[in-house]
Structure 1
Amino acid sequence: MFVARPNDGIVAYLQREDRVIVKQPELPYGSDTGFTHAGREMPFRALRITDRVTPPLRQPVSDTDAFWVAVQSTGEDYEFTLIGTDHEDRKVSFTMPLVYVPDGLDKATAEAQLKNLYAGDLNAANPSTVDRKLMSRMNRPMGGQVIALAQPPPGASGSTSHAVGKLTFGLGVTGPAAHPVVGLPHVSAAEVRVPAVEQFAPNAGYLAVGFNDTFLQQTMEGHPAGAYLNLKEAVSLTFGAAKAGGIASPNAAVELITSQAGVIPNVFKTGQAGEVVGALDLKDIRAAFGKAKLLGFIDLSRYLQNIAKESLGTLRQLGDDQIEAILRAPDGLLPAPVLRIRDLADGQGKELRYVWKTALGKPDAQPGDQSKDILDVSGAVLTLDARTVRAKDAVDKATVEGRLTNFALDFSGMVRVKIADLSFRTGPGRKPDVTASGLELEFRNELEFINSLRSALPADAFGGGAYIDVQPSGVRAGYRLALPAIGVGVFSLSNVSLGAELVIPFDGNPVSFRFSVSERTHPFNVAVSLFGGGGYFSMLVDAKGVQRIEGAIEFGGSAALDLGVASGGVSVMAGIHFEFDAAADRVSLGGYLRCNGFLCVLGIITVSVEFYLELAYEKHGHESVVRGKGTLTVSVRIAFFSKSVSLELERSFSGAPGDPAFADCVLPHHWHEYCAAFAA
């Protein structure tokens, strides 16, 4: 080569220039090209190099060694432009550094050299300089291009396609002798967009994924749900109770991406060869639902049951018809939540769907769990079906249906509420629709005597005449029944009302139940001849136990006498009031006696006497006090003159702050003598 150089004139130099000329620009890949997993680890069926010749390259150390192709002027890797053809014949363009392997090397030597060039830990937490260089070569940006990462099942075009942000390539060196190249590139990891997950986790963005082991070793058909990708880190979905009618917050950690069932939790146990041998142990299944809540506060994961291996196949090929059939069937179940997104039939939008139908059962006993005694879900079934339709020219339309059947609430062993069906449905532009049916109320233990009043309640306490109030804070459903006045001879009963109210909050507070017989402001009245009285009773209980009990009863009698010249009367009334307030840590018990008498002579002289005596016991925490109060009032009226005199007396007695301690009852030297006597 002749070159002109300053001060040298035109001189002939012997100068070497290395370039790579691509003679076979396209190579096919598939199940018969030597891949370990029959090509399932390679999403491209073919790769084509568009560069026919490279610029001058940096001279290799040896003409018999493989080397990374680098530009002579900068020393940086030369990035070839490649066009890949995926499983749906989609063209994908990207750049990537390549290795040049000299022709004529035997396969063993070439493989050894490739291993050295690709040596490094791409997953190292603290990568070395060599690892970082290799990572930059293997991690190739895809710019959000859509790629079919696996061969989709028949009739399910697009079910395995994702917008890809990055592909991480690896190199296998186990190609057969007949293959034209020594190394086989494959994809070891990727970062993809998962639209269904993004709807529930808006900050998800690109998610790191890898191929599912069962898919690689047993094909997609070998997995009960048709999984082909695993999320590197499970994504926790937060599904607020307000969106599920307060019935459940089915928060779960999804991990598997399937071809037709969508994104689901990983509830599958696999063997050494990648085959699915059954469902995970119950402990692991519950761990996947660690944040799921039932009725706003109960740990749903405790009530999940073992999944039978034969039911795992339900997750395969879940079309709309199959899902509807499962939801309608009394014994139909979906063993894991399904999160899927599909195109609408008219092509004008997409539908996101979260659906789950699972059986619940008796939980494991856990000390200190306040919810362990409230919920009985033996034979209960939980169903949740949430859909969001996103049209191109309209706002989102979201509908949520929740249902919990055949369960009971047991409040501290005192009240048991059985509910056959509690369901919830909400949609755009309308008030949430909450219905409950088949409610039965039963009092137990100390309150069993109240069951005699149940005959006045309707068979379905949430049926006609009931009230249901749905607010953003929760659902309040109940019933008020006013009994007509009853009069038989000298007996009369009036102003009696019965009430039952169930509150299901959406803010994580416990579900509560209140029962009342009349109210403090409207007590019932009863009279038998000369004797009469009245009272009321109410009780509030929740998962933590009895929160408030209040009741009072008053009884007594009265009589009057009129002799013409003189008339008079007398009445005696006594009452008892009891109140327990757990929130204020207060207990109070009180009783009173009130006596009235009057005498009127010829309408001129009137004398009246009233005696009132009250005795109350109050306890606040560990402190208690007894208060007594007495009042005597005498009034005299003569013609236009009247005079009243009152005498009052009040006393209080403070009790001990608590039971005496052992040290308060036994002196130290007495205790030593006692112990010494036994030691001898």
Structure 2
Amino acid sequence: MGPFRVVRPADMLVVDIALVNLRFDGGRLVRREPAAPTLIVVGLPPQHVMEEIPQNPDPAAGPLRSVKAFASEASQLVFSVPPEVDSLSLSLASLLDWERLVPMTVPVVQPGATPPTGLPGSVLEFPTRLLLTYDEPVTWVCPSEPRNPDGRTGLWHALLSSERGGEALLRALGRADGRASVPSRFPLSAADLEDLVILTSRAELIDTAGAPIVLPSAPLRAEQFIATPLGASAHLHGAWDKADPSVGPRLEAIGRHRPEVAAYDHITGLGRDQFVRVVIRGFLSTGHPALLVSEFKRRFVAHRDNGIVAYLRQEDRIVLREPEVSYGESTGFPHQAREMPFRALRVTDRVTPLLKPAWPPKPADRPEAQPEARQPFWVELESGGDHQFTLLGTDHEGRQVSFTTPLVFVPDSKAGDVDALESLYASAETKEKGRLDRPLGGQVMAMAQPPADAPGSTSHAVGRLSFAMSRKVAGGEHPLAGTLVVSGAEVRVPALEPFTPKAGEVPVVFNAVYRDHGMAAHPARAYLDLVDAIGLDFAAEKVGGLARPNAAVKVITSQAGVVPDVFEPDANGGVGAADITRIQKAFGAAKLLGFIDLSALVGPVLTQDLDRLRQLGDNEIQALLDAEGGTIPAPVLRVRDLADAQGRELRYVWKTKLVPPDPPPPGGTLLDVSDAVLTLDARTVVSKEAGEETSVEGRLRDIALEIAGVARVEIADLRFKAAPGNKPDVSASGLELKFLGELRFIDTLRSALPADAFGSGAFVDVQPSGIRTGYALAVPDVPLGVFALTNVCLKLELDIPFVPEKAISFRFSVSERQRPFNVTVTLFGGGGYFSMLVDAEKGIREAEGAIEFGGGAALNLGVASGGVTVMAGVRLEVRDGAVKVGGYLRCSGFLSVLGIVTVSVEFYLELTYEKHGNESVVRGRGTLTVSVKIAFFSKSVSLELERSFSGAPGDPTFVDCFDRETHWEDYCLSFDGDP
């Protein structure tokens, strides 16, 4: 019998009824065919209305805005008339007597089975777009007549329960396809409905290889389900185990996603939602299993314009399932978790405050669109801003540090989508909000696993950690396709603080060799690199001026402290010898003797030399310092606690062989270091009682200084020692002076010097600006017959400044201008002096000398007496590039006759050459003076003459030598043609 509609206004009953295999024989409904199924099909009005969630969390506070709503379609109940019922009365009461009928379900179709045909089953659309049927026998109870026991007629309703009288079990057949998509702001998204179908339908899925996909399955439990003409009043709930992660790719291959719904609760009244809870299984980006709990509650509030309004409010929270996760070599980190300094992370937030809803993307507006899964999202608070999770990290030494950080929630279905995670962590918004840089406030933690023989050697006070997302390696145990790693940090390095104004927290990253191959692969057990190399700022007065090894340190090691970056990765991932370019870059600011570039004198670090950095305890360091051929290839900064635990000692130590620069600089080298060895050992002790005390020992062996090609000073051993409360002690031994080039003739004067010029007679003057050391020798007067040599003094002086503004200088002099030496041979005599000052930058700065010679004779005959004197001299002066050369001749004589007449004559001639830059001048001056004295009368006459000649400012230029009109063409043609 075709469907017909029954409407009973008294209790608002509206149903559509269709009869299958029943006919009316005039009095009752009887079977058409006794052996055929006999069914009563009941169509119910829509049982659910899906309402949009307002975007404003409190819409009652502002203008009232309508929300979108979508009603479900009609539900269908199918009842089978049992065989023992021969006929039915054609009355509404008989057709609504469902207790004696058998509710029909839709059978589960397993893979390979033939689906039944011709027998409809009961299908309830609840909630909207989800189609349900019975998972076990059920019963329906409904009143056949209106009920009004207290004078009020009750709404017609039908109660669903299990056949045993308890809660009914339901399963989802599928989603109601073929309809236009709806906006995403609804309690149940299309992805949630798809998950409910997968988790409750009991139908097996087949992968592309034809194998079944095993998924957790459990029916929905209906604690209450009452169908009414105005919609169902229901309470459904369900909970499911986690799907095996391995089924995710197999599901994606057939166009499905791994189900992520962990629990579902739904309470409605007359078809309108009162409470909906959807629990999504997922992870925090740290790998902690977590649940996203979304609750939708009907809220009744008083609106200022419209009275009482009711709307759905969404409340999202994240609940931690496992508060602690462990990290290790097999947990999927690209470098065996060396880029994650924590061995475990514990999240102390068991439940977050209310969060800003993160809606899944809206599916395409077409019926066949696949539901879009939820995407990873930053956990943000409803009140605004990121939620700061509190984490307790356990480092390599079991020490715990706490910090806060925003995290990403990753739905279970997106656990394998590393691109989504990386894009979130690399986005401009993430960097702008500072989500990746987390302050630690100076907490001490181990940045790497320390060696067994050096506990605590990798611990630092950390001011900041920077995080990044990295791809998990295949086979790792980490639940996500991406792992959260530490990409950088700001830490305190105590060894650097006494040497640099950049004391405090410095940015660091993990050393590449350590990260890729472990600490054992590095010769010095490095684990961190400074982002920017820091030059050590040694005060000159603290290192004696012998050397200022201001190397740029960059590598932080567990065994050798902080060292320059002299390590070159080899093809196998280890460390080999560094090239000279890297060495010179590391020592670019280092100085020797105040001004010599030390980087040009540091040789390459060989692979076998690097092995010495593997074990550098205090005993090993001292043994290398004492050994004749022992070296420490790179400067080492170390910090250790004092034995009495009353302070700390910082030690800087370096011992290296110097090598001549290759290629040599233009003009030759100042310093000969063919056999030189530089040693520096500085200790700074910081204690409560004494404060900070620094002691320094320096040594420079077997060096030679060649200054301006005129002098060579060879020093066998130059030492410096400074101790707290004492004057710096500088000593030198094995010093020898040699003259070179055109001044080699002066070298014969060295025989007058002692063999060791810096012996007991030497002077050493140590000042804050540098060291001045030398020797002065006064040669005794030498009388030998008619020969006499007097007033001779030999002096040499070496000045080693501490500051780079001044260069090392050397002065040698034979007597001085103020006290020249004197030489007489019979009636001839003379004298002179010589002084020369040269430095390493300008060469000859000052040079001056003079020599004077002449003779005199006197004659007395009684009647007449007289005398004559002739003197000549030459003087040379070179000062700051200006040259002055002069010579003179002075002749004088007198004659006296009987004391009455006296005549004297004096002749003086001087010639001077001066040069300043490109300008030169020659000056000549002559004077003749004649004096006559007769008795009481005297008269003197002088004649003077002076001339000067200026030279050209320089040589003529090329243009001056050619006439462009006549000579230039001839000049060019002279080069034309084949040679």
Select 2:878's aligned residue among 561, 575, 580: 580
- Give the residue type in structure 1 aligned to 2:883: V
Is residue 300–residue 311 contact of structure 2 (8 Å, CA) maintained in 1?
A: no
1: distance between equivalents of 2:647 and 2:357? 56
Residue of structure 2 equivalent to 1:132: 432
Instruction: Tell me by how many angstroms 1:460 deviates.
Output: 1.7
**Structure 1 partner of 2:239:** none
| Contact 1:208 1:231 (8 Å CA) reproduced | yes
Q: Is 2:416 the partner of 1:119?
A: no
Contact 1:148 1:160 in 2 (8 A): yes
- Structure 1 residues 641 and 201: CA distance shift in structure 2, 3 A: same
| Counterpart for residue 387 of structure 2 | 78
Aligned to 1:529: 826
Kindly provide the amino acid, as one letter, of the partner of residue 610 in structure 1. E
Question: 1:111–1:173: 8 Å Cα contact kept in structure 2?
Answer: no
Match of 1:47 in 2: 345
Counterpart position of 1:285 = 583
**Identical counterparts, % of pairs:** 60
Q: Distance in 2 between matches of 1:327 and 1:357?
A: 7
**Displacement after TM superposition at 1:499 (Å):** 0.9
After superposition, residues 482-521 of structure 1 pair within 5 angstroms as 482-508=778-804, 509-521=806-818
> Residue 65 of structure 1 is aligned with which of 374, 386, 389?
374
Superposed, 1:272-671 pairs within 5 Å as 272-276=571-575, 278-365=576-663, 372-508=668-804, 509-543=806-840, 544-581=842-879, 583=880, 585-601=881-897, 605-637=901-933, 642-665=938-961, 667=963, 669=966
CA deviation digits over 1:79-118, x for unaligned, max 9?
2221111112211111223344455x4xxx5121x54033
Tell me which residue corresponds to 2:324. 26
Q: Deviation of residue 635 (structure 1)?
A: 3.6
Q: Which has the larger radius of gyration?
A: 2
Determine if the alignment matches structure 1 residue 271 to structure 2 residue 570: yes
User: Which range moves more in the overlay, 180-189 or 437-446?
Assistant: 180-189
Q: Per the alignment, in what secondary structure is the counterpart of residue 44 of structure 1? A: coil
Could you say what secondary structure the match of 2:504 adopts? Answer: coil
For 1:369-420, what per-residue CA distance to the aligned partner results, in whole angstroms no more than 9, with x for missing partners?
Answer: 56x4322111211222222221123332122233222111112222111111
Alignment partners' CA distance in 1, 2:308 and 2:894: 145
Note the C-alpha offset of 1:310. Answer: 0.3
Aligned equivalent of 1:229: 528
Residue number in structure 1 paired with 2:253: none
- Provide structure 1 residue ranges, at least 5 long, that are not aligned to the other structure: none
Aligned length: 664
- How far is 1:77 from its partner? 3.2
1:59 Cα deviation (Å)?
4.3
- Contact 1:217 1:273 (C-alpha < 8 Å) held by counterparts: no
CA contact (8 A) 2:328 2:337 kept: yes
Does the residue aligned with 1:502 lie in a helix, a strand or coil? strand
1:101-250 to 2 correspondences below 5 Å:
101-102=410-411, 105=413, 109-112=414-417, 114-120=418-424, 122=426, 128-133=428-433, 136-172=434-470, 174=472, 179=477, 181-182=479-480, 184-250=483-549
* SS of corresponding position for 2:319: coil
Change (3 A) 1:579 1:494: same
Give the 3-state SS of the residue equivalent to 1:200 in structure 2: coil
CA–CA separation in structure 2 for the residues paired with 1:51 and 1:279: 50
Q: Measure the CA separation in 1 of the matches of 2:810 and 2:760.
A: 20
**Residue aligned with 1:82, SS:** strand
Deviations 1:26-52 (A, max 9, x none): 222223433332222221122222222
Structure 1 window deviating more from structure 2 (629-638 vs 302-311): it is 629-638
Change (3 A) 1:72 1:289: closer
Per the alignment, do residues 131 and 120 of structure 1 end up closer, same or farther by CA in structure 2, a change over 3 Å counting? farther
Q: Is the 8 A contact 1:418 1:441 kept in 2?
A: yes
The residue type paired with residue 532 of structure 2 is: E
Name the SS of the counterpart of 1:358 in structure 2.
Answer: strand
Q: Which letter maps to 1:250? A: P
Deviation of residue 456 (structure 1)? Answer: 0.5
Per the TM alignment, residue 514 of structure 1 is displaced from its structure 2 partner at its CA by 1.1
CA change 1:661–1:69 in 2 (3 A) is closer
Aligned to 1:90: 399
Task: Tell me the equivalent position of 2:157.
Answer: none
User: Could you list the per-position Cα deviations for residues 166-190 of structure 1 after superposition, in whole angstroms to 9, with x for gaps in the alignment?
Assistant: 1122345537768373354332221
Answer with 7-16 or 186-195: which moved more. Answer: 7-16
- Deviation string 1:234-266 (CA, Å, 9 cap, x unpaired) is 122222434322222222221111112111111
Amino acid at match of 1:287: K
Cα distance change on mapping 1:69 and 1:238 into 2, 3 Å: closer
How far is 1:18 from its partner? 4.1
SS of the equivalent of 2:584 reads helix
* Distance (Å, rounded) in 1 between the aligned partners of 2:549 and 2:754: 33
Q: Which amino acid aligns with 2:327?
A: Y
Secondary structure, aligned partner of 1:378: coil
Distance 1:230 1:612 in 2: 78
Structure 2 portions without partners, runs of 5+: 1-274, 276-297, 361-371
Higher RCO (C-alpha under 8 Å, 6+ residues apart): 1
> Scaled by the length of structure 2, what TM-score is found?
0.64
Give how far 1:634 is off: 3.2
- Taking a change above 3 Å as real, the CA distance of residues 607 and 75 of structure 1, as seen in their structure-2 partners, is closer
Change (3 A) 1:327 1:639: farther
Equivalent-residue separation in structure 2 for 1:570 and 1:365 (angstroms) = 63
* SS of aligned partner of 1:137: coil
Residue 69 of structure 1: how far off its partner (Å): 6.3
Task: Write the deviation string for residues 451-470 of structure 1: whole angstroms up to 9, x where unpaired.
Answer: 11110011122222222222
Tell me the SS of whatever aligns to 2:415.
helix
Distance 2:656 2:404 in 1: 47
**Structure 1 counterpart of 2:729, which letter?**
D
Q: CA RMSD in A?
A: 2.9
Contact 1:500 1:515 in 2 (8 A): yes
Q: 1:507-541 CA deviation, whole Å, 9 max, x = no partner?
A: 32221111111111111111111111111111111
Q: 1:224 to 1:620 in 2, by over 3 A?
A: same
Structure 1 residue 162 displacement after superposition = 0.8
Instruction: Please tell me whether the aligned partners of residues 535 and 552 of structure 1 are also in contact (alpha carbons under 8 angstroms).
Output: yes
Give the 3 Å change call, closer, same or farther, for CA 131–670 of structure 1 in structure 2: closer
| 1:323 match: secondary structure | helix
Contact kept in structure 2, 1:358 and 1:383, CA below 8 Å: yes
The alignment's TM-score, normalised by the length of structure 1, stands at 0.90
SS of the equivalent of 1:260 reads coil
Look up the match of 1:257: 556
Q: 1:420 to 1:677 in 2, by over 3 A?
A: closer
Distance 1:14 1:634, change over 3 A: closer
Structure 2 Cα separation of the partners of residues 326 and 237 of structure 1: 23
Are the structure 2 counterparts of residues 497 and 73 from structure 1 closer, same or farther at C-alpha, using a change threshold of 3 Å? Answer: same
- Structure 1 residue 642: Cα displacement: 4.9
Contact 1:554/1:576, CA 8 A, preserved across alignment: yes
Write the deviation string for residues 193-247 of structure 1: whole angstroms up to 9, x where unpaired: 1122222222343222111121122221110011001112212222243432222
User: Counterpart amino acid of 1:128?
Assistant: A
SS where residue 324 of structure 1 aligns? Answer: helix
Does the 8 Å CA contact 2:376/2:420 hold for their aligned counterparts? no
